[in-house]
Each structure stands twice: as C-alpha cells, then as structure tokens.
Amino acid sequence: MSSDSDREELFLKILTACKTVTKDNILEFSRGLEKKYANEKQFFRTLPLRGHVGLPTDKMAMSLVPEDLPLEPEIAATRTSPDGNCLLNAVSLALVGDETQMSLLRLLVAVELLLNCEFYIQHPRFTSFSSADHQEDKLFSLCLTRESDKVYVDTNRSKEDAVWSEALIATKSKEWSGFFHIAALSTVIARPIFSAYPNCQTWIRDFLHSEICPCEIQNVVPLELLFVLWTRDGNLDNTSGAWYSPNHFVPLYSTGKGGISCSKEKEIQPKKHNQETVPVKSAKQRKRPLTLDGYFGSQSSKRKKEK
C-alpha cells in the first residue's frame, strides 16, 4: 500500500474511533505504520535541509520575515503551493527540493501525534510560557486548529481528544496545519523547527516565535534548524486594529555565507521528553520596505488576550 492509502485508512480508523474500532486498535495500527516507514523516516533525518535553496521566492513572505531570527541578514522565503498542504510542502521542499513527500509527511505526523499524545498534551512550550496572564489551558486551545478546538470544547476540554483530532487533520489532504503539526514534524525529521512569526506586536507572537525541539530521538544526531514562516497567501488586511491572520507556511534560508548566526552544532540527547524550546536570539537588523507595523500599527497590541 502507498502512503496515500495508509493515510486514508488511518483517517477512517480515527474517524470511527470507539464506534467500529477501539483506540487500542488504532494505536496498534499506528505502531505498524511507524515500523513500515522507519526507513523513510530515517532517510529524512539524514538530509541536509537545503533542498529549497535557490528555488523561486515568495515576495509576500519575504516582506514579512521578522528581524529577530537567528539567521544572517540575507534571508530568502521559498514559494510553496497554497493548497492547504503548505506546511508539509514547506518541509518536503527543504528535504528534497520538491513537494513530493507531502503525503508521507502527513502520515508520519499523524502517527507521531497518536503514539506520543501525552507529550504533546504537556508540550514544554506550554509550561515554559504559561503565566497568570497566559494560562496553560488557554494556550493549548489557541494552538489547536479550528476543528480541533471545537472538539476540545465539545468534549469538556479533553486534551487527548483534541490531539487525536489534530492527528485526524494530519491524515486529510489540503487541511490547514498548526502548532501541534509543527511540533510533531520536528520529531519526525529529528531537527528543531524555528516557528518564525512576523513582528505584529501581539502576545501570541511571543509564544509562537520560537524554536520547537523534537520529542524523542533514539540516536545522537547533529542539530540543524529548519525555519518555517507563518505567512499569508493573498493580501494583508490593513484595517486599523486588525489581527494578523496567517494562512500559509513557507520555508526560509539564509542566502549569506554565514547561514545560521549561532551555527555551533549541538546534539540531541536520546529519549529526553522534557526537551524545552529555545528562546529567540536576535540577529543583525535587516531593512525592508514593508512590515506588518505599516499595516496594523500599535493597535494590534491592544486587542484582548482572547480568541
């Protein structure tokens, strides 16, 4: 069977969970898929994440790249297909230089979310960022896709059901991805992913603009950051006080000789489930003719801290 067929079968199993098939059966099936695609996953983990270098750029994304990335000033944003698969397309481009691995990455993300559900429920980013102003449960809800947030509310805030819903979304082609899918992708490819968010002066940006580390790696491997930008396909809403609303992902890379400005190679220690996200390190200032502040000004910072 192809990854498309396996993904469809997993989708149907999750969709009918507790009706025609138990969660234990789904987890057993997922473990079988993990074993089946172990070689493909290992292959992804050996690639240098430079497949997208030199490909056509995305002008809108280029204008939205924030200035506080741990990259050299000359940054390029690679164009991805705006078809709902953009996050997986972005990672596929970085891995192999095209979008052909999107379907398999979707399947591996779904399997990862199912088999390590508890880790994603208690993701270190929630515990490290939560405070009196930003409660952990609210952060969790904000990170869910719209459909999964509805599941979260309808199931009396069951985080397990919400993460399973995110796994279900991962099995469906052309479905928008979010924070949990980025976090799962980091483990699938065994590299930290820097979730780059445009500078729009909102507190949610402080949460999302961060390096997301893998959940668990069996072998010690060199760390190589993949940068993914929350951008837009289409125009920005320049209404005064409007929220920045991303609807697209693209991969970023440095066009300069230096590459990542803090490029000392680190290592992932095996089986560390409490791996924390890394705070942003500022790089050299970059000048651009267009920024989000030009559209929204300071109004966006005055919005209520609610969905």
The tokens describing 212, both together, are 């997301």
The predicted-structure confidence for 103-154, as pLDDT tens digits, reads as follows 999 999 999 999 999 999 999 999 888 676 778 888 999 999 999 999 999 9
Please report which helix (H) or strand (E) contains residue 227, including its range. strand 226-231
Give the C-alpha separation, 11 to 106, whole Å: 11
Give the C-alpha separation, 205 to 72, whole Å: 21
Residue 161 CA, chain-centre distance (Å), reads 19
Domain 3-302, CATH number (from 3.30.413.10, 3.90.70.80, 3.30.70.580, 3.30.390.50): 3.90.70.80
Instruction: Check: CB of residue 110 under 8 Å from CB of residue 143.
Output: no
| Residue 6 three-state SS | helix
Residue 112 Cα distances to 28, 171, 184, 216, 274, angstroms? 13, 12, 6, 11, 16
- Domain ranges in the chain are 3-302
Whether 275 shows a pLDDT value over 80: the answer reads no
Q: Which of 243, 247, 244 is nearest to 233 (CA)?
A: 247
Whether 252 shows a pLDDT value over 50: the answer reads yes
Instruction: Check: CB of residue 215 under 8 Å from CB of residue 273.
Output: yes
The predicted-structure confidence for 195-233, as pLDDT tens digits, reads as follows 999 998 788 899 999 999 998 654 545 567 999 999 999
**Which pLDDT score is estimated for 240?**
67
* Biggest CA-to-CA distance, the chain: 57
**Which pLDDT score is estimated for 141?**
94
Q: Which of 36, 37, 38, 12 is nearest to 25 (CA)?
A: 12
The predicted-structure confidence for 69-114, as pLDDT tens digits, reads as follows 988 778 999 999 999 999 999 999 999 999 999 999 999 999 999 9
Average pLDDT over the chain reads 82
